[in-house]
Amino acid sequence: MAEHAYILAFDTANEVVAVGLGRIDAASRDDVATLRRPCALSDIAAVREVEAHRASNTVLLSLVDDVLDEAGVSKDMIAAVVCGRGPGSFTGVRICMATAKGAASALEVPLFGVSTLDAVAWNAWAQGLRGRVLVAADAMRKEVYPVLFDIAEAGVSRLTADAVVKAVDAPAWAAGALQALGESADACRFDAVLGDGLVKYADIFEPLGAVADESLWAVSGRGLLLAERLGADPATLLPVYTRLSDAEENERIRLAKEDGGKNLRTGVQLFEGSQDAAPIDYRPLDAAHAADVARLEQMTMGSDAWKASLVADELPRKDRTWWAAFDGPVLVGYCGGWVVDGQVQILKIATDPAYRRRGIAAELIALVASDARNLGATEMSLEVRASNAGAQTFYERMGLANIGTRPHYYSDREDATIMSGPLPEARRDVAGMRLHVDDVAGGTDACETASHPLILAIESSCDETAASIVDGTGALLSDVVASQIDFHSRFGGVVPEIASRKHIEAICGVCDECLESAARSLGVRGLRWRDLDAVAVTYAPGLVGALVVGVAFAKGAAWGADLPLIAVNHLEGHLYANKIATPDIQPPMVVSLVSGGHTMLVHVRDWGDYVTMGSTIDDAVGEAFDKVAKALGLGYPGGPIISKLAAKGDPKAIDFPRALMHSGDLRFSLSGLKTAVTTYIQKEQQAGRELDMPNIAASFQQAVVDVQVKKAMAALDETGAREFCVGGGVSANPGLRAAYEKACKKRGVRLSMPPLSACGDQAAMIALVAHDRYKQGKFADWSLDVKAHAPLDEAY
């Protein structure tokens, strides 16, 4: 057996889960270049396809195990993992890719991506179909993903790049594609049409060619093994989307209008002190700033400068992406790209001469590249003046190469050098985010003497991608957080689709850094997945599409390293975060959980035994902070901004309502308070008075704090508990913390609070829960799924 090695491929982009196991020559096992070539395949060992109906996350890994069993292959014989990149259901593709990233990382083998549609075509090739073929996959919302292929005896060649079109426009798209290939589009008929787009749109596709047998419509294990592979590094492989998120699409439409340029400013950074002295703001370019672009064009481009109208004309186009850099209100740079045939062409890039050498151009290119990738591009090209050696070096460092010259391209007849190459990766630490890394313990133990179990925990329930490692004593060895807040703040809240996309971009980088950071804490050279004893992950509650990335990745990694899997409830994590500062807290106690999504008082009768005593009947506390900040025009997230302002104001200045203060129960209501604040603001503005922001913030915050403290004390009375603790983003609020200190002291109740960095979402808290679960022997299996809601009271 040992003379063979295998490639494991799977895909869950659509309704079918497909798995394939291919045998390769063992000699090519360690040669990535050879592995990338499909011809390295000497045999197909086993394949499996099942209908999954949106349950791919629960069946994928057991199906993989079945396939390995059938072929009698063990995991150490896997030389590479291959996963379908879509296009398909966004969540479906992310499940597949996150699992594959986890598995490849833990197995320490390369990860390749294949186009799901190429795999469909290759399967058809294997089944003997030949000729010019149109594959159309269902893209939901009355759209399809069409691709043209030529299938010959020798194999499959792809004729068009990934695209998404309205199903009714597919015939026109096909005619256009033929024309672009220099062929007659008159009789637009193909040798075969296939793909799951035909399920709903048979009437549209039937006139375009012979409908292939239905068994050829879906992706198969065989097709996945045969299709062209790209990539190698688990960290950098990304799904094919072909569209931006709806929030971004809508923003585009809004910003293209002259008066739509009211962008929210980025809020206070999560980790104070980490921000640059005078941060530059990056936002999509809007029509209101077209004139500023024209002004900079004049300054930097001479007679090749674009006029404002030309710039404004670009903005509403679906295949364009334009970003701008601002210093306060002043536009200091911009970059525009045009996505066509899988390539983004940089139309314009410039920075104000006074702002050069600050990395602005690179940041703008990264933002355009990121959009372009989401729109289906894989390459970038641009023109640069032949004499501009500095710029050429800059682009070379980005991975672009000189591929030719356009003679007399500029109006002064200077030549343009054409440069092109793969899309540059996101800058900063991972996925355009700055990592917050804590190497926690400072031990010098060698790994063999590290206290086991070592558990790596992952958190991805909202907009933080986080990982942390805890040792057998409950000490944290590393704590890494990538906050996506910069990508959401301009929308005034977390955009679920953007959150999911960022998680899949960041998850490998965050976990790699977590392992390295734990190794530093242990004083060892490196820590590998297989040195761990378990992998833990938040499975609920939270955003389903975000949770799924962490869960699929954790499952893949646990599977790859043969480790047990531990599922953790996010809310229990916030409770356990109190152990970071106070390791000896003991139930019975009361915990107040206050975040952007939750407001509740919980009786902790024992670890794992929780009774929710009361919660909010409308908005969560953090939500109220966010909404009030929005009403005051202060940006997102509101909590940190309001609490800073409140420190300068008079909490008694305005008498805002304290809802349910005397209700005699432990329910909360915050929507009335939010309305009272917005009404107050309107009245003041109508009366022509200037808003006293600090007083509004302080009075609002005091109204929140009064109710929180009153009810918390009532919960302590009701339970007789002598310990009180807090958790969730709002528990970082200084006013609330001070009020609890006072109230608990007065009562002789011990108060524990997480450190400020552990109030919001991170994975250290998940690791601490997992530490207990491991001791109890409570493990999850490969069918673990995510849940949007999961009350703490339910045992899991």
Binding site members for Fe cation? 570, 574, 761
Look at residue 622 and give the partner it binds from Zn ion, ligand KG4, none, a contact being a CB closer than 5 to 8 Å depending on partner kind.
ligand KG4
- Is residue 550 at the binding interface for ligand KG4, with CB under 6 A as the rule? no
SS (H, E, C) 730-759: HHHCHHHHHHHHHHHHHHCCEEECCCHHHC
- Is residue 763 at the binding interface for ligand KG4, with CB under 6 A as the rule? no
Binding residues for substrate: 593-597, 626, 639, 733
Q: Which stretch binds ligand KG4 (CB under 6 A): 136-144, 229-237, 329-337, 730-738?
A: 730-738
Which residue in the set 22, 424, 573, 622 belongs to the binding site for ligand KG4 (CB under 6 A)? 622
- Is residue 635 at the binding interface for ligand KG4, with CB under 6 A as the rule? no
- Is residue 541 at the binding interface for ligand KG4, with CB under 6 A as the rule? no
Instruction: Choose between 286 and 479: whose C-beta lies nearer to ligand KG4.
Output: 479
Partnered with residue 601 across adjacent β-strands are 592, 614
Instruction: Choose between 24 and 549: whose C-beta lies nearer to ligand KG4.
Output: 549
CA 764 to mean position of chain CA atoms: 19
- Is residue 764 at the binding interface for ligand KG4, with CB under 6 A as the rule? no
Are 653 and 701 a contacting pair, CB within 8 Å?
A: no
Are 21 and 68 a contacting pair, CB within 8 Å?
A: yes
Q: How far is CA 220 from CA 136, 147, 324, 740, in A?
A: 15, 17, 43, 59
Task: Count the alpha carbons within 13 Å of 226 in the hemisphere toward its beta carbon.
Answer: 24
Q: Which stretch binds ligand KG4 (CB under 6 A): 184-192, 203-211, 217-225, 593-601?
A: 593-601
Which amino acid, 235? Answer: A
Look at residue 730 and give the partner it binds from Zn ion, ligand KG4, none, a contact being a CB closer than 5 to 8 Å depending on partner kind.
ligand KG4
Q: Which stretch binds ligand KG4 (CB under 6 A): 58-66, 88-96, 620-628, 764-772?
A: 620-628
Distance CA 161, CA 377 (A): 9
Instruction: Choose between 263 and 468: whose C-beta lies nearer to Zn ion.
Output: 468
What are the DSSP calls for 519-558, one per residue?
HHHHT-S---GGG-SEEEEEEESS-HHHHHHHHHHHHHHH
Which residue in the set 165, 728, 744, 786 belongs to the binding site for ligand KG4 (CB under 6 A)? 728
Give me the sign of the Cα torsion angle 56, 57, 58, 63: positive
Of the candidates 469, 427, 440, 466, the one whose C-alpha atom is nearest the C-alpha of residue 452 is 469
Token pair recorded at residue 224: 């996945």
Are 723 and 585 a contacting pair, CB within 8 Å?
A: yes
Residues from 453 through 492 that contact ligand KG4 (CB under 6 A): 462
What is the 8-class DSSP label of residue 668?
B
- Is residue 146 at the binding interface for ligand KG4, with CB under 6 A as the rule? no
Distance CA 480, CA 604 (A): 28
Instruction: Choose between 129 and 458: whose C-beta lies nearer to Zn ion.
Output: 458
- Is residue 754 at the binding interface for ligand KG4, with CB under 6 A as the rule? no
The least CB distance from residue 442 to ligand KG4, in Å, is 28
Count the site residues for ligand KG4 by CB under 6 A: 20
- Is residue 699 at the binding interface for ligand KG4, with CB under 6 A as the rule? no
The least CB distance from residue 743 to ligand KG4, in Å, is 18
Token pair recorded at residue 781: 């299996």
- Who contacts 89 (Cβ-Cβ below 8 Å, separation ≥6)? 13, 14, 140
Instruction: Choose between 377 and 462: whose C-beta lies nearer to ligand KG4.
Output: 462
What are the DSSP calls for 180-209, one per residue?
HTT---TT--EEEEESTHHHHHHHHHGGGE
Give the residues lining the site for Zn ion (CB under 5 A): 595, 761
Which residue in the set 164, 522, 577, 730 belongs to the binding site for ligand KG4 (CB under 6 A)? 730
Look at residue 86 and give the partner it binds from Zn ion, ligand KG4, none, a contact being a CB closer than 5 to 8 Å depending on partner kind.
none
Instruction: Choose between 419 and 593: whose C-beta lies nearer to ligand KG4.
Output: 593
Are 160 and 148 a contacting pair, CB within 8 Å?
A: yes
Length in residues, the chain = 796
Which residue in the set 113, 239, 560, 639 belongs to the binding site for ligand KG4 (CB under 6 A)? 639
Look at residue 638 and give the partner it binds from ligand KG4, Zn ion, none, a contact being a CB closer than 5 to 8 Å depending on partner kind.
ligand KG4
What is the 8-class DSSP label of residue 347?
E
The least CB distance from residue 621 to Zn ion, in Å, is 12
* Integer Rg of the chain from CA: 28
Instruction: Choose between 484 and 733: whose C-beta lies nearer to ligand KG4.
Output: 733
Distance CA 726, CA 590 (A): 8
CA 788 to mean position of chain CA atoms: 17
Token pair recorded at residue 663: 């209700």
Which residue in the set 343, 643, 695, 757 belongs to the binding site for ligand KG4 (CB under 6 A)? 643
- Is residue 496 at the binding interface for ligand KG4, with CB under 6 A as the rule? no
Instruction: Choose between 146 and 638: whose C-beta lies nearer to ligand KG4.
Output: 638
Task: Kindly give the pairing relationship between strand 589-594 and strand 723-727.
Answer: parallel
Instruction: Choose between 191 and 438: whose C-beta lies nearer to ligand KG4.
Output: 438
Instruction: Choose between 104 and 730: whose C-beta lies nearer to ligand KG4.
Output: 730
Q: Which stretch binds ligand KG4 (CB under 6 A): 13-21, 435-443, 547-555, 589-597?
A: 589-597
* CB neighbourhood size of 690 (10 A): 7
Look at residue 640 and give the partner it binds from ligand KG4, Zn ion, none, a contact being a CB closer than 5 to 8 Å depending on partner kind.
ligand KG4
Instruction: Choose between 177 and 270: whose C-beta lies nearer to ligand KG4.
Output: 270
Q: What are the helix (H) ranges across 660-782?
A: 671-686, 693-719, 734-747, 764-776
Instruction: Choose between 392 and 733: whose C-beta lies nearer to ligand KG4.
Output: 733
Query: Cα–Cα–Cα angle for 697, 703, 704, nearest 5°?
Result: 90
Distance CA 28, CA 486 (A): 43
Task: Kindly give the pairing relationship between strand 190-194 and strand 165-166.
Answer: unpaired
Binding residues: 570, 574, 593-597, 626, 639, 733, 761
What is the 8-class DSSP label of residue 167?
G
The least CB distance from residue 701 to ligand KG4, in Å, is 8
- Is residue 619 at the binding interface for ligand KG4, with CB under 6 A as the rule? no
- Is residue 651 at the binding interface for ligand KG4, with CB under 6 A as the rule? no
Q: Which stretch binds ligand KG4 (CB under 6 A): 313-321, 367-375, 621-629, 766-774?
A: 621-629
Q: How far is CA 485 from CA 279, 465, 494, 506, 507, in A?
A: 15, 11, 8, 13, 16
Which residue in the set 597, 635, 649, 754 belongs to the binding site for ligand KG4 (CB under 6 A)? 597
Crossing angle, helix 496-522 and helix 246-255, to 10 degrees?
120
Q: Which stretch binds ligand KG4 (CB under 6 A): 66-74, 466-474, 618-626, 771-779?
A: 618-626
Of the candidates 743, 713, 740, the one whose C-alpha atom is nearest the C-alpha of residue 726 is 740
Are 353 and 299 a contacting pair, CB within 8 Å?
A: yes
Token pair recorded at residue 192: 């075969």
- Dihedral-angle region of residue 19 (phi above 0 means left; psi in -120 to 50 means alpha; beta otherwise): beta
Look at residue 11 and give the partner it binds from Zn ion, ligand KG4, none, a contact being a CB closer than 5 to 8 Å depending on partner kind.
none
- Is residue 505 at the binding interface for ligand KG4, with CB under 6 A as the rule? no
- Is residue 732 at the binding interface for ligand KG4, with CB under 6 A as the rule? yes
Which residue in the set 729, 744, 753, 758 belongs to the binding site for ligand KG4 (CB under 6 A)? 729
Q: How far is CA 533 from CA 470, 562, 563, 588, in A?
A: 10, 9, 6, 30
The least CB distance from residue 596 to Zn ion, in Å, is 7
Q: Which stretch binds ligand KG4 (CB under 6 A): 359-367, 551-559, 604-612, 727-735?
A: 727-735
The least CB distance from residue 464 to Zn ion, in Å, is 9
Which residue in the set 538, 733, 752, 757 belongs to the binding site for ligand KG4 (CB under 6 A)? 733
Residues from 196 through 255 that contact ligand KG4 (CB under 6 A): none
Distance CA 704, CA 700 (A): 6
The least CB distance from residue 460 to ligand KG4, in Å, is 12
* Binding region for ligand KG4 (CB under 6 A): 462, 595-597, 622-623, 625-626, 637-640, 643, 728-730, 732-733, 760-761
